[in-house]
Structure 1
Amino acid sequence: MVARKKAAARKTGPRNTTPGSTARKRAPKRWSQRVTRNSDALDLKRGVFKLTSARKIASSLKRSAETSSRRKSGAYRSALSMLTFYINRAGKTLPKTERDRLERAKVELRRQFGRE
Protein backbone atom coordinates (compact mmCIF):
# COMPACT_ATOMS: atom_id res chain seq x y z
CA MET A 1 0.00 0.00 0.00
CA VAL A 2 2.85 2.44 0.82
CA ALA A 3 4.49 1.82 -2.58
CA ARG A 4 1.22 2.70 -4.33
CA LYS A 5 0.99 6.07 -2.50
CA LYS A 6 4.60 6.93 -3.36
CA ALA A 7 4.02 6.13 -7.02
CA ALA A 8 0.89 8.30 -7.05
CA ALA A 9 2.78 11.17 -5.42
CA ARG A 10 5.51 10.97 -8.06
CA LYS A 11 2.98 11.14 -10.90
CA THR A 12 1.11 14.17 -9.64
CA GLY A 13 4.08 16.01 -8.21
CA PRO A 14 4.31 17.75 -4.89
CA ARG A 15 1.11 19.29 -3.56
CA ASN A 16 2.79 21.47 -1.01
CA THR A 17 3.42 24.96 -2.35
CA THR A 18 4.98 26.50 0.73
CA PRO A 19 8.34 28.25 0.42
CA GLY A 20 11.14 25.77 0.20
CA SER A 21 9.01 23.12 -1.47
CA THR A 22 9.96 21.66 -4.82
CA ALA A 23 6.82 23.00 -6.53
CA ARG A 24 7.50 25.20 -9.55
CA LYS A 25 7.22 28.92 -9.06
CA ARG A 26 5.45 31.13 -11.55
CA ALA A 27 7.61 33.07 -13.96
CA PRO A 28 7.60 36.81 -13.27
CA LYS A 29 5.04 38.60 -15.42
CA ARG A 30 7.27 41.47 -16.52
CA TRP A 31 10.42 39.72 -17.64
CA SER A 32 11.25 42.47 -20.14
CA GLN A 33 11.22 45.02 -17.31
CA ARG A 34 13.61 42.82 -15.35
CA VAL A 35 15.86 42.44 -18.41
CA THR A 36 15.95 46.20 -18.92
CA ARG A 37 16.77 46.83 -15.26
CA ASN A 38 19.34 44.04 -14.77
CA SER A 39 20.80 43.78 -18.25
CA ASP A 40 24.51 44.21 -18.84
CA ALA A 41 23.79 46.19 -21.96
CA LEU A 42 23.63 49.81 -20.80
CA ASP A 43 23.08 52.14 -17.88
CA LEU A 44 20.15 54.09 -19.33
CA LYS A 45 18.93 57.47 -18.19
CA ARG A 46 15.44 57.15 -16.69
CA GLY A 47 12.67 57.94 -19.19
CA VAL A 48 14.97 58.04 -22.21
CA PHE A 49 12.36 56.51 -24.54
CA LYS A 50 9.76 59.10 -23.51
CA LEU A 51 11.84 62.08 -24.65
CA THR A 52 10.10 64.36 -27.13
CA SER A 53 12.52 64.30 -30.07
CA ALA A 54 14.30 61.53 -31.91
CA ARG A 55 17.57 63.49 -31.73
CA LYS A 56 17.37 63.69 -27.92
CA ILE A 57 16.67 59.96 -27.65
CA ALA A 58 19.60 59.13 -29.93
CA SER A 59 21.94 61.51 -28.07
CA SER A 60 20.99 60.05 -24.70
CA LEU A 61 21.46 56.47 -25.94
CA LYS A 62 24.83 57.37 -27.47
CA ARG A 63 26.00 59.04 -24.27
CA SER A 64 24.85 56.08 -22.17
CA ALA A 65 26.48 53.58 -24.50
CA GLU A 66 29.80 55.38 -24.61
CA THR A 67 30.05 55.87 -20.85
CA SER A 68 28.63 52.52 -19.74
CA SER A 69 31.01 50.06 -18.14
CA ARG A 70 28.39 47.29 -18.26
CA ARG A 71 28.12 46.79 -22.02
CA LYS A 72 29.70 43.78 -23.65
CA SER A 73 29.81 44.91 -27.29
CA GLY A 74 30.47 48.18 -29.09
CA ALA A 75 28.68 51.39 -28.17
CA TYR A 76 26.67 51.62 -31.42
CA ARG A 77 25.54 48.02 -31.23
CA SER A 78 24.49 48.33 -27.58
CA ALA A 79 22.55 51.55 -28.14
CA LEU A 80 20.73 50.22 -31.19
CA SER A 81 19.98 46.94 -29.42
CA MET A 82 18.36 48.73 -26.49
CA LEU A 83 16.26 50.87 -28.81
CA THR A 84 15.14 47.86 -30.84
CA PHE A 85 14.43 45.88 -27.67
CA TYR A 86 12.16 48.64 -26.38
CA ILE A 87 10.27 48.89 -29.69
CA ASN A 88 9.81 45.13 -29.96
CA ARG A 89 8.67 44.65 -26.35
CA ALA A 90 6.12 47.47 -26.62
CA GLY A 91 4.59 45.63 -29.57
CA LYS A 92 1.10 46.58 -30.70
CA THR A 93 0.46 48.75 -27.65
CA LEU A 94 2.98 51.36 -28.83
CA PRO A 95 1.12 54.28 -30.44
CA LYS A 96 2.01 55.01 -34.05
CA THR A 97 3.37 58.48 -33.27
CA GLU A 98 5.70 57.09 -30.61
CA ARG A 99 6.79 54.22 -32.87
CA ASP A 100 7.57 56.69 -35.66
CA ARG A 101 9.62 58.84 -33.26
CA LEU A 102 11.60 55.79 -32.11
CA GLU A 103 12.20 54.68 -35.70
CA ARG A 104 13.50 58.18 -36.48
CA ALA A 105 15.73 57.84 -33.41
CA LYS A 106 17.27 54.73 -35.03
CA VAL A 107 18.12 56.75 -38.13
CA GLU A 108 19.50 59.58 -35.99
CA LEU A 109 21.56 57.11 -33.95
CA ARG A 110 23.13 55.76 -37.15
CA ARG A 111 23.91 59.32 -38.22
CA GLN A 112 25.48 60.25 -34.87
CA PHE A 113 27.71 57.19 -34.95
CA GLY A 114 28.65 57.91 -38.59
CA ARG A 115 27.06 54.72 -39.92
CA GLU A 116 24.75 56.21 -42.55
Structure 2
Amino acid sequence: MSAELRRELSRLDTLANALDSQFRIPGIGMRIGWDGILGLVPGVGDAVTLLPAAYLLYKGHRLGARRMTLMQMALNSGIDLAIGAVPLLGDLFDIGFKANKRNVALLRRDIEARIEEVA
Protein backbone atom coordinates (compact mmCIF):
# COMPACT_ATOMS: atom_id res chain seq x y z
CA MET A 1 0.00 0.00 0.00
CA SER A 2 1.42 3.37 -0.96
CA ALA A 3 2.19 6.01 1.64
CA GLU A 4 -0.36 8.35 0.06
CA LEU A 5 -3.10 5.71 0.25
CA ARG A 6 -2.23 5.02 3.90
CA ARG A 7 -2.47 8.76 4.65
CA GLU A 8 -5.83 9.00 2.90
CA LEU A 9 -7.23 6.05 4.84
CA SER A 10 -5.85 7.56 8.05
CA ARG A 11 -7.68 10.84 7.28
CA LEU A 12 -10.90 8.90 6.67
CA ASP A 13 -10.38 7.01 9.95
CA THR A 14 -10.00 10.35 11.73
CA LEU A 15 -13.22 11.66 10.18
CA ALA A 16 -15.13 8.47 11.06
CA ASN A 17 -13.85 8.58 14.65
CA ALA A 18 -14.92 12.23 14.98
CA LEU A 19 -18.38 11.33 13.69
CA ASP A 20 -18.86 8.13 15.69
CA SER A 21 -16.50 8.02 18.70
CA GLN A 22 -15.02 11.46 19.46
CA PHE A 23 -16.26 11.70 23.05
CA ARG A 24 -16.44 9.25 25.95
CA ILE A 25 -19.63 9.34 28.01
CA PRO A 26 -18.53 9.58 31.66
CA GLY A 27 -19.62 6.81 33.96
CA ILE A 28 -20.61 4.28 31.32
CA GLY A 29 -17.57 4.45 29.05
CA MET A 30 -19.53 4.43 25.79
CA ARG A 31 -18.27 6.63 23.01
CA ILE A 32 -20.33 9.05 20.97
CA GLY A 33 -19.39 11.32 18.10
CA TRP A 34 -20.79 14.29 16.26
CA ASP A 35 -23.21 12.03 14.38
CA GLY A 36 -24.90 11.04 17.63
CA ILE A 37 -24.79 14.54 19.10
CA LEU A 38 -26.16 16.29 16.01
CA GLY A 39 -28.74 13.52 15.66
CA LEU A 40 -30.34 14.85 18.84
CA VAL A 41 -31.46 17.93 16.89
CA PRO A 42 -34.84 16.91 15.45
CA GLY A 43 -35.07 16.89 11.67
CA VAL A 44 -31.86 18.76 10.93
CA GLY A 45 -29.24 16.72 12.79
CA ASP A 46 -29.52 13.51 10.78
CA ALA A 47 -29.62 15.41 7.49
CA VAL A 48 -26.45 17.33 8.40
CA THR A 49 -24.55 14.16 9.28
CA LEU A 50 -25.46 12.71 5.90
CA LEU A 51 -22.95 15.08 4.26
CA PRO A 52 -19.81 13.50 5.77
CA ALA A 53 -21.29 10.05 5.10
CA ALA A 54 -21.69 11.02 1.45
CA TYR A 55 -18.10 12.28 1.46
CA LEU A 56 -16.90 8.86 2.66
CA LEU A 57 -18.78 7.26 -0.24
CA TYR A 58 -17.26 9.75 -2.66
CA LYS A 59 -13.76 9.04 -1.37
CA GLY A 60 -14.42 5.31 -1.57
CA HIS A 61 -15.36 5.71 -5.21
CA ARG A 62 -12.29 7.87 -5.89
CA LEU A 63 -10.04 5.29 -4.22
CA GLY A 64 -11.44 2.59 -6.51
CA ALA A 65 -13.65 0.66 -4.11
CA ARG A 66 -15.66 -2.10 -5.72
CA ARG A 67 -19.32 -1.49 -6.49
CA MET A 68 -20.42 -4.03 -3.84
CA THR A 69 -18.39 -2.21 -1.18
CA LEU A 70 -19.88 1.13 -2.19
CA MET A 71 -23.37 -0.39 -2.05
CA GLN A 72 -22.69 -1.77 1.46
CA MET A 73 -21.41 1.65 2.53
CA ALA A 74 -24.52 3.34 1.11
CA LEU A 75 -26.74 0.80 2.87
CA ASN A 76 -25.01 1.47 6.20
CA SER A 77 -25.50 5.22 5.73
CA GLY A 78 -29.12 4.72 4.70
CA ILE A 79 -29.85 2.57 7.74
CA ASP A 80 -28.16 5.15 9.95
CA LEU A 81 -30.27 7.94 8.42
CA ALA A 82 -33.57 6.04 8.49
CA ILE A 83 -33.35 4.64 12.00
CA GLY A 84 -31.51 7.70 13.30
CA ALA A 85 -34.52 9.82 12.33
CA VAL A 86 -36.69 8.03 14.91
CA PRO A 87 -36.72 10.18 18.07
CA LEU A 88 -34.72 8.77 21.02
CA LEU A 89 -34.58 5.19 19.67
CA GLY A 90 -32.68 6.45 16.64
CA ASP A 91 -30.27 8.39 18.83
CA LEU A 92 -29.49 5.27 20.84
CA PHE A 93 -29.08 3.32 17.61
CA ASP A 94 -26.59 5.92 16.30
CA ILE A 95 -24.43 5.44 19.37
CA GLY A 96 -24.18 1.70 18.82
CA PHE A 97 -24.25 1.30 15.02
CA LYS A 98 -21.39 3.67 14.10
CA ALA A 99 -22.04 3.63 10.35
CA ASN A 100 -19.08 5.82 9.46
CA LYS A 101 -16.55 3.60 11.22
CA ARG A 102 -18.17 0.57 9.57
CA ASN A 103 -17.86 2.25 6.18
CA VAL A 104 -14.18 3.10 6.57
CA ALA A 105 -13.51 -0.47 7.73
CA LEU A 106 -15.32 -1.81 4.64
CA LEU A 107 -13.29 0.50 2.43
CA ARG A 108 -10.01 -0.49 4.06
CA ARG A 109 -10.78 -4.22 3.68
CA ASP A 110 -11.72 -3.72 0.03
CA ILE A 111 -8.52 -1.84 -0.77
CA GLU A 112 -6.35 -4.35 1.10
CA ALA A 113 -8.04 -7.24 -0.73
CA ARG A 114 -7.42 -5.60 -4.10
CA ILE A 115 -3.76 -5.07 -3.24
CA GLU A 116 -3.41 -8.74 -2.23
CA GLU A 117 -5.01 -9.84 -5.50
CA VAL A 118 -2.46 -7.89 -7.49
CA ALA A 119 0.50 -9.16 -5.46
TM over 0.5: no
The two structures have a TM-score, normalised by structure 2, of: 0.37
Larger radius of gyration: 1
The two structures have a TM-score, normalised by structure 1, of: 0.38
Higher RCO, 1 vs 2 (CA within 8 Å, ≥6 residues apart): 2
